[in-house]
Amino acid sequence: MAKINWDEYKQYKYQREDIENLDNFEVLLEFLRSFYNKNSSFEVFDILSTDSLGKMMLDKREISKPEDLDDYLFRKLSR
């Protein structure tokens, strides 16, 4: 299983032009999809749930299973 490389995440985050329009969790999700090539909500959830900071971000949004993450992503894309 992949571990989140927080140094790479920080570089990715600060290279974004629209950073002020996204929260850290949204940037992290994009980072996981691009840097690790993870597109499955199940894979992304597994990575986040095994990382202490990732787990805290999931808990803050009351995401406790991959299906919840899928719903969260769907709501974000529907806006």
pLDDT digits 0-9 by tens, 17-61: 776 777 899 999 999 999 989 889 999 999 999 999 999 999 999
State the Cα–Cα distance between residues 70 and 67, nearest whole angstrom.
Answer: 5
Average pLDDT over residues 6-26: 86
In a domain, 51, yes or no: yes
pLDDT class of 1 with cuts at 50, 70, 90: low
In a domain, 56, yes or no: yes
Task: Identify the CA nearest to 69 among candidates 24, 39, 36.
Answer: 39
Answer yes or no: is pLDDT of 74 > 90.
Answer: no
**pTM score, two decimals?**
0.85
pLDDT at 25: 93
Helices 66-78 and 41-49 cross at an angle (nearest 10°) of: 120
In a domain, 1, yes or no: no
In a domain, 46, yes or no: yes
Domain that holds residue 68: 6-78
Are 50 and 1 spatial neighbours (Cβ–Cβ below 8 Å)? yes
Q: Based on the structure, what is the number of domains in the chain?
A: 1
